[in-house]
Amino acid sequence: MDIPRIFTIRESSHRIHNPLDDAKLATLGAALRLDPGASALDLACGSGEMLCTWARDHGITGTGVDLSTAFIAGARARAVELGVTDRVRFVHGDAAGYVADEPVDVAACLGATWIGDGVPGTVDLLRRSLRPGGLLLVGHPYWRLDPPDDDTARACLMGGRDELRSLPGLLAEFDGLGCDVVEMVLADQDSWDRYAAAQWLNTRRRLDEHPDDELAEQLRAELRTEPVRHARYQREYLGWGVFALMDR
């Protein structure tokens, strides 16, 4: 049980597997005013940077769940590096359907709403682990600019124009799910660049070190096309943010 290997190659050096950078992740943690000892569940936690740094900086405890063996190994190593192994733990497993044994203060899914087949299902899944009055954190893309056609949307790696909403539309969707939006931190073009461009270096280094890799042809093709695609489409049209929600 694991994610496709090409994803771990692209993001092998990433500690944050979404377009938030270190500063924005820290801004989010500070903005939420977390109490020491607050408990968190992070579904599809990637390499665990949110839980590990917030445990260090704010004294929270938490559990992260992810399908990638490589990312979970990285998360556990990061917990050791930051000296927070007594506060966080990481579980290799499918985050879809995962519910905490005890209600938590913060239930999060940053950039993996496919675990609930979309935003509504992911919000419902997170609610199953949340204590009354707790915080839901949902990371999700939105249209920064309205794409002119479906081809442009697909170049942003979306299925079509209707797959995403504008930022006001996404906020209205949360409202329709019975949630108050109480905070948000948005990626910008620079943090998108840091997320996307680091993948290109990871890809090139993999090709240099393993030219006979079974994925070499696909990696080489991506390295030639992805910088232009990112600059022309993703960077211009696609926004991304983390939204803090509280049930009414």
Q: Per-residue pLDDT averaged across 74-85, rounded?
A: 98
Q: Per-residue pLDDT averaged across 199-221, rounded?
A: 97
Residue 116's pLDDT is 97
Nearest CA among 201, 184, 183, 185 for reference residue 193: 201
C-alpha 230/C-alpha 123 separation (Å) is 29
Residue 1's pLDDT is 85
How large is the C-alpha radius of gyration of the chain?
18
Residue 147 · residue 228 · CB < 8 Å: no
Phi, psi of 197 (to 5 degrees): -65, -30
Tokens coding 177: 């799910």
Cβ burial of 181 (10 Å; 0-12, 13-18, 19+) is: middle
Average pLDDT across the chain, whole number: 97
Q: Considering the entire predicted model, what is its pTM?
A: 0.96
DSSP-derived 3-state class of residue 220: helix
DSSP string, 171-182: HHHHHHTTEEEE
pLDDT digits 0-9 by tens, 114-139 = 999 999 999 999 999 999 999 999 99
pLDDT digits 0-9 by tens, 84-100 = 999 999 999 999 999 99
Domains of the chain with bracketed CATH: 5-247 (3.40.50.150)
